[in-house]
Amino acid sequence: MHEMSLMESVIDIVCETARLNGARRIRSVRLDVGVLSHVDPDALLFCYEAVRHGTLAGRAKLEINRIAGEGWCLDCGKTVALQERFGACPDCGRHRVQMTAGDELKIRDMEVI
Amino acid sequence: MCTVCGCGTLPIEGHHHDAGSHGHSHGGGLDHDHHHHGHDHHSDDHDHRDVAHDPHHAEDGSVHRSDGIAGVHVPGMSQERIIQVEREILSKNDAYASENRRYFLRQGIFALNFVSSPGSGKTSLLVRTIRELKDRVTINVIEGDQQTSSDAARIRETGARAIQINTGKGCHLDAHMVGHAVEDLAPEPGSALFIENVGNLVCPAAFDLGEAHKVVVLSVTEGEDKPLKYPDMFAAADLMILNKADLLPHLDFNVELCITNALRVNPRLQTVIVSARTGEGMETFYAWLEAAALRGATRSKEV
């Protein structure tokens, strides 16, 4: 359950950013979470509920934006869709694919009052 | 529409949503409050409206829907109120990790982060390594476990200094914990620091501690498919130690296949095959240690 630490980190960062911006309250937070990253979005939402109370984000909505997996296939010389990390190229079936998207784990933006 | 799940519950004024408050789960046993209050005109729980344009927004943050706008929150947010954050979720941990790494470089401390599932033989491996390298290098240990300090006690029996971090519910060490442990431990300049992470083949992969290398320990009793099943850890590591090699004659474990699987997720991964019990293969591991420490020392001189 490292999602708990991740969400604590999210709360820390958004509350700090809100304070720096003179906000009274955070209304929503948007994350970019790649489908190939090592976290489970459901677990993130679950942990978010546990850590947000009593903070500026106490009532903030959490939106998780999923980013599809993509990679550069060295053999085909093009960008291909990746269903799993270290997966094979869907066209040539070989594994020489370098992940280019889908590994994101980022706080994109937030809405404050 | 609810932008979390896409369910069609428009919070339209005067519209009595028949489900009233349906707490529903987004799978995975999730049970967060996610109510759509059709009847509740003073809901301050979780509304989907665009409050920045709402003149009826009370001081306390509650929204009085009785005289509000039937604003629907899809999918963006009000422009005036958006703050671009654009920060990695792990940025806090990574900042602590960089601090640790700078400290290690300055002090010429060679830090390794040992990761594996529980029971792979990490502690036994460290105990033997410390005993056999005692005269060549000073080794200190940071032990991570959810509970007990028995691993640190085992390390101390070798004469090495060890500090135990109990993570409680935590499933991994983070750079902040390690930073504090390093402060307490005050490792000697030019020494080696072995960090034994919590036994867990998933979570520790994400957390940089400031180490020079992650070393993944896999015992041959675990099965050769583990690198494919838990790819993140093998992708994050620089060295894989296949431990309990003395048991190979009794198992169907296919060493070649295991290494092939590991190389598939990490083509740069190096492998040594050892038995911490009998000592076979340990010299190869020590040779790797020496070479890696030397590379680290060269780097620290450049800094």
DSSP secondary structure string for all residues of B198-220? -S-SSGGGG---S-SEEEEEEEG
Q: For residue B13, is pLDDT > 90?
A: no
More confident residue, B63 or B129: B129
Mean pLDDT score across all residues of chain B: 80
Handedness of CA A17, A21, A25, A31 (dihedral sign): negative
More confident residue, B8 or B140: B140
Q: Taking the model in full, what pTM does it have?
A: 0.76
pLDDT given at position B36: 40
Residue B173 · residue B144 · CB < 8 Å: yes
- Name B41's bridge partners: none
Q: Which of A75-89, B5-19, B68-82, B120-134 ranks highest by mean pLDDT?
A: B120-134
| B268 backbone φψ class: left, alpha, beta (φ>0; ψ -120 to 50) | alpha
More confident residue, A3 or B277: B277
Q: Which two tokens stand for residue B30?
A: 């999730």
Mean pLDDT score across all residues of chain A: 93
**With bands split at pLDDT 50, 70 and 90, how would you rate the model's confidence at B15?**
very low
Q: What are phi and psi of B216, to 5 degrees?
A: -95, 130
**With bands split at pLDDT 50, 70 and 90, how would you rate the model's confidence at B68?**
very low
A12 touches chain B (CB under 8 A): yes
Average pLDDT over residues A67-94: 93
Q: Which residues of B227-246 are buried (b: 16+ CB within 10 A; e: fewer)?
A: bbebbbbbbbbbbbbbbbbb
User: What whole-number percentage of chain B has pLDDT above 90?
Assistant: 68
* Strands annotated E in chain A: 26-34, 61-67, 70-73, 78-81, 97-101, 105-112
| Whether complex ipTM tops 0.90 | no
Q: For residue B180, is pLDDT > 50?
A: yes
Distance CA B69, CA B137 (A): 71
Average pLDDT over residues B5-26: 37
**With bands split at pLDDT 50, 70 and 90, how would you rate the model's confidence at B168?**
confident
CA B258 to chain centre: 23
Collect all residues of chain A within an 8 Å Cβ-Cβ radius of residue B3: 61, 63
**With bands split at pLDDT 50, 70 and 90, how would you rate the model's confidence at A54?**
very high
**With bands split at pLDDT 50, 70 and 90, how would you rate the model's confidence at B35?**
very low
Which among B28, B51, B235 has the least Cβ separation from residue A43?
B28
pLDDT tens digits along B250-285: 999 999 999 999 999 999 999 999 999 999 999 999
Q: Which two tokens stand for residue A35?
A: 């489908």
Average pLDDT over residues A67-84: 95
The pairing of strands A97-101 and A70-73 is antiparallel
- Residue B95 in 3-state DSSP? helix
Average pLDDT over residues B79-98: 89
Helix (H) / strand (E) element for B145: namely strand B139-145
User: What whole-number percentage of chain B has pLDDT above 70?
Assistant: 72
- For residues B215, B167, B134, B269, the Cα torsion angle rounded to the nearest 10 degrees is 0
Average pLDDT over residues B237-241: 98
Concatenate the DSSP letters of all residues of B63-82 into one string. B-GGGS------SS--GGGE
Q: For residue B81, is pLDDT > 90?
A: no
Distance CA B152, CA B164 (A): 6
The minimum CA-CA distance between A113 and chain B, rounded to whole Å, is 7
Q: For residue B247, is pLDDT > 90?
A: yes
Which among A5, A13, A59 has the least Cβ separation from residue B85?
A13
Residue B109 · residue B190 · CB < 8 Å: yes
Which of B73, B58, B14, B64 minimizes the C-alpha distance to B38?
B14
Which among A9, A45, A110 has the least Cβ separation from residue B89?
A9
Average pLDDT over residues B203-215: 96
Handedness of CA A75, A81, A87, A91 (dihedral sign): negative
Collect all residues of chain B within an 8 Å Cβ-Cβ radius of residue A45: 26, 30, 32
